[in-house]
Amino acid sequence: MSENIMELAKILRESDNIVFFGGAGISTASGIPDFRSSDGLYSKKLNRSFSPEQAVSHSFLFQYPEEFYEFYKANLIYKDAKPNACHKALARLEEMGKLKAVVTQNIDGLHQAAGSKNVFELHGTVLKNYCLDCGKPYQVDYVLEAKGVPTCKDCGAMVRPDVVLYEEGLDQEVLSGAISAISKADTLIIGGTSLVVYPAAGLIHYFRGRKVVQINKTKTTVDEKADLCIYDDIAKVMSEALDMM
């Protein structure tokens, strides 16, 4: 057991109001790759090349809905993915009364599947969808099973995922809840995120507590300000730290 993980376990024991801020690296152990690792989208029909970020943007959805859904269903929905050791460790911390909130940039719903209750999904979730005209809700299976662009059974309008696409703003209620949780925390654990996607990454600046823990496989911009940095697999780190508590 490394000294860093022992130190993390000590911080967890001494903390009463922990908030976890996470990104795509949390779900890679569940078999969900960061979509930015995609080689990009190329459509012969459009005769243009698109980056993954462009392919999941607001303008792309409405200009090229068929191509949007082709990319979206192939690269952002992983219905069979299961929570990994990190998701489960965070749920255990919440059960213990130590973890007060999870603030996530992920859209896969795995934190809730693991048992976490207080989750702020900054970028929404693939599990919920709605009609653009009448607002009728639809489950993820409806989108997956649709041929081409999913449309509403009631009014025929396009059904879109309840996710925050590029060029769209964050939900203000979710945003304010996340800010409130982070500002009240005594320990902030940042994990599995490169901290390059804004405005989400900027939320960590609302932290006023005692300890900042950074867990990531590579260095980030917050490392020099963190009290503890662990460069390792976050699923392994969180699981081992809880076992030491």
What six digits make up the tokens of 200?
A: 């989400």
> CA of 193: how far to CAs of 24, 128, 211, 233, in Å?
6, 24, 18, 12
Catalytic residue among 58, 87, 111, 123: 123
Complete DSSP assignment for 141-164: HHHHHSSSS-B-TTT-PBEEEEE-
Query: What would the DSSP string read from start to end of 163-205?
Result: E--BT-PPPHHHHHHHHHHHHH-SEEEEES--S-STTGGGGGG
Let me know if 205 is a catalytic residue: no
Rg over CA atoms, the chain = 19
SS3 content of the chain, % helix, strand, coil (to 5): 40, 20, 40
Omega into 199 within 30° of 0, i.e. cis? yes
- Residue 188's nearest CA partner among 25, 27, 17 is 17
CA distance 101 to 81: 22
Catalytic residues: 123
